Amino acid sequence: MPWISALASLVRRPVRALIRAWVEVRLIEPDPASLGLSPTAMTIYVLPHPALTDRLLLETLCARSELPEPNQPLSEQQPALSRCVSLPGRRRKAQAPFLGYLEWLHGHPEQDLELLPVSVFWGRAPGKRFGFWSLITADDWGLTGRLRRALAVLVHGRSVEVHFGAPLSLRALIERRPDALTNRKVARLLRVHFRRQRTRVLGPDLSHRRTLIDGVVASPTVREAIAETAESEGRQVSRVKARARRYGREIASNMTYPVLRLLDGLLERLWTRLYDGVDVEGIEAVKALAGDHTLVYVPCHRSHIDYLLLSYVLFHEGLMPPHIAAGRNLNMPVIGPLLRRGGAFFMRRSFKGNRLYRAVFQEYLARLLSRGHPLEYFIEGGRSRSGRLLDPRPGMLAMTLRAHVRGVKTRGHSGKLAFIPVAIGYERVIESDSYRAELAGKPKRRETPLGLLRVFGRLRQPFGRVSVTIGAPLPLSSFLDAETPEWRHASDEDWQQRAVPRLGEELARRINAAVPLNAVNLVALVLLATPHRAIERDLLERQLELLVDLARSSAEAIGTDGSTPAQGLSGSPAEWIPHVESLGFIERRHQVLGELVLASPEQTSLLSWYRNNVLHHFALAGLVAFAFRNNVRFSEEELHALLAPGWPVLVRELYITPETELATALRATLDRLVDQGLLEVETRPAGDKASVPRWRRPSAGHAGREQLHLLGRLIQPSLERGYLLLASLLRLPSGSLTRDQLAEQSGLLAERLTLLSGLDAPEFFDRRLFAGLVTSLEADGWTWPDEDGRLCYGAELTATAERVNTLFDPALRHRLQQLAAPTSDAAPSPSSKAEAEASTATPPVDDA
């Protein structure tokens, strides 16, 4: 009727004016220009439910983005067919609205219609199963639908998100079946899309915290732990049950949307003040999984900023922020409640000896995963003080794996859980000074609210840029199918003990593969490779270009879609050097003969943290370059025989993921070094087809010789640590030392070496590095424990160590061997005597 149309128009005008004046769209995804709409098909917008505000907002956006207008009829002959439709509500019995469009297609065989799903989110409030907030967020509360929408416009009008789906050809869905069946099929496909989109953005509904804790305490596993604890301690069951409930309150998060909005605003101001920018790479891989996978984010742990930064990035990219496992030390006054309402759940550092606490925590974690909530935890356990990726801790991984297996077996779901490795790179980390002090032996400072105030005092200092890079996601079921195929049917847990360490190593490799390069860690790599932490500026620039070229061309530069660690780099070496100086890491001195770049002892100690972030990207190139330091030429077979024994140990120490076998990667590395002018290929004699090609280092006057030497020094500290460990092991008979004794003695020798060398490098003698090397030797079969736990070795290790000795020049080899000698007056072996004489003699004349 005409009067109904006039009344509708009268209502639409003020609402449209309100939306234009008040509503601000925070995120439109994807960009309308990238939707790829067909130029020949007509676009039909599809909304998940009838809502006037959504339709009017869509009209406004389409006008701004030059998209087809949604308020026009399909054709003048059929004005009832609008170019914007909505699916009926779940409580309505009305059928899907596509029958008229199907009939139109039958009458116009040369035409097509593209369905474009559009999801509009007024705010990002995850649903609560109980509470007043459902009045505003529950889409299926029919009695308050209009009131809810009006409140949403007023309350969340400044934080609206619009998500477009992939265009769907309606003609392609027409099959030889009645239109009624096609109509239902199209509606079903769209409902699945809208449900996944909602899950991706809002996550599953949040249980009321008290209800969740009650469910955890009432679960069979926790009830069993309560009964056993009561019996073992001789206490009443009711008291132990109350303790379990206290544990639940101590652990459980209480995520609330107002706090998420508050943190979003605070963090946005913090990043603007603290950093020059936040770079995000690889987020599309997460968005592709978020709709139908439970996501577990596993970032590297470089700083307390990590979890705040990742949640902020996910929120701004249209993804649900995760529940974050935080140490109980952060549950401090003021800060703890704020973090808890932002999604943090707190855990003790150790569960040892407390079966009840373990049962409560495991059940809480399992319930979060079973309901599809995204999680975040750090597999390293704590922040890295040395800048390296720490060895993965098995605790959270094992609990996640058990919860996943329980869900697959008891609930029968498909097991769509994926780990998301995340690498976070800082140009300057807030905790630099405290890390340096802790590595030097000072105790870790306890976190307090006053400590947070000290951080705010540093906001005026420059911190450069920060990057968040998503690594290759790891679906857990696929990983288990490949590693332990029996996991779906095995009743024992022996396979879990094998799977968890492998899972941790795989995730660590994927995190390290995603670590980005930046100006600071590149300058640190080069400057710390110089003997006196000083270098000519032009040589520094050439070496920086070399590292970037190697990272971009290396077959081991792992990333999604062919990306490399250097893909986020901008600018040139000439711009990076003054930028690093502005951050306080280096000094520049202008001289008549050319500018010098230097680092003080304090700056050197700080730079080692940033070098260790990315050293793994250049491990093989550095190892090859180091081999030519004391050897003029190699054939490919000779070089492979020399490097093959130690390469697996280095791979495990630095969590490297080679894409190819060593022989293939070695040849590619040699070719790249030749292309860069760092190595030369000796030509074959004329007519000698049987001769083997050999690679040689450039002559002493060649510009590439110095660059090759600097590249080799990148990996020298790792090789020296391995040499000291082998020297400590082999100087005594087999079966003399335990794992801990060997790691401890090697660490002491490394500390002595740094002191005698006058270097301030406490990360060089980190005991955890030597413990990892001992584990690698045992994993590769070089050593094995006897009945008393002492390490045994055979003649093969001795022979290999003798062969590897040729990597080091006689002077360095003699120094390391003397350092590892059992007593200062011990008689040196004949070989060490010869090396001592060689080290004091005139150095050999280099080949011309």
Phi, psi (rounded to 5 degrees) for 147: -65, -40
Sequential DSSP letters for 699-756: PTTSHHHHHHHHHHHTSHHHHHHHHHHHHHHHTS-TT--BHHHHHHHHHHHHHHHHHH
Letter string b/e over residues 768-779, b meaning 16 or more CB atoms within 10 A of that residue's CB: ebbbbbbbbbee
| Cα separation, 603 vs 132, whole angstroms | 55
Amino acid at 508: A
Tokens of 487: 């996991």
Report how far residue 457's alpha carbon sits from residue 437's, in angstroms, rounded to the nearest whole number.
19
Contact 101, 201 (CB under 8 A): no
Cα 411–Cα 415–Cα 420 angle in degrees, nearest 5 = 140
Backbone angles phi, psi at 305, to 5 degrees: -70, -20
Tell me how far apart the alpha carbons of residues 287 and 295 are, in angstroms, rounded to a whole number.
Answer: 10
User: If we measure between CA atoms, which residue out of 829, 826, 784 comes closest to residue 805?
Assistant: 829
pLDDT of res. 119: 92
Q: Which residue has the tokens 């400072």?
A: 445
Q: What is the mean pLDDT of each run of 10 residues along the chain (848 residues)?
A: 54 77 85 87 91 88 88 80 85 77 89 92 64 44 55 77 91 81 90 88 77 91 94 92 94 85 82 87 92 93 90 89 89 85 89 90 92 93 88 93 87 78 93 76 68 63 91 93 86 84 95 94 95 93 94 58 73 94 94 90 90 94 92 90 90 85 90 92 63 85 89 91 87 90 88 76 79 88 91 91 82 73 46 38 34
> Dihedral of CA 524/529/532/536: which sign?
negative
C-alpha distance from residue 653 to each of 253, 286, 512, 610, 715 (Å): 35, 28, 12, 17, 12
CA distance linking residue 197 with residue 203, whole number of Å: 9
Beta bridge partners of residue 589, listed in sequence order: 596
Q: What angle do CA 602, 605, 608 make, to 5 degrees?
A: 150
Q: DSSP labels for 568-615? A: T--S-HHHHHHHHHHTTS-EEE--TT--EEE--HHHHHHHHHHHHHHG
Which are the contacts of 289, defined by CB distance < 8 A and separation ≥ 6?
295, 418, 420, 473
What is the predicted pLDDT for the residue at 685? 59
Domain boundaries, the chain: 15-202, 255-322+374-443+460-510, 519-684+701-711, 716-840
Inter-residue contact 656 to 557 (CB < 8 Å): no
Q: Show Cβ contacts of residue 147 under 8 Å, excluding neighbours closer than 6 positions.
A: 135
Helix (H, G, I), strand (E, B) or coil at 204: coil
Could you give the CA distance from residue 165 to residue 194 in angstroms, rounded to a whole number? 9
pLDDT at residue 688 in the model: 55
Q: Tokens 């005139």 belong to which residue?
A: 842
DSSP 559: -
Nearest alpha-carbon partner for 390 in 725, 657, 740, 654: 654
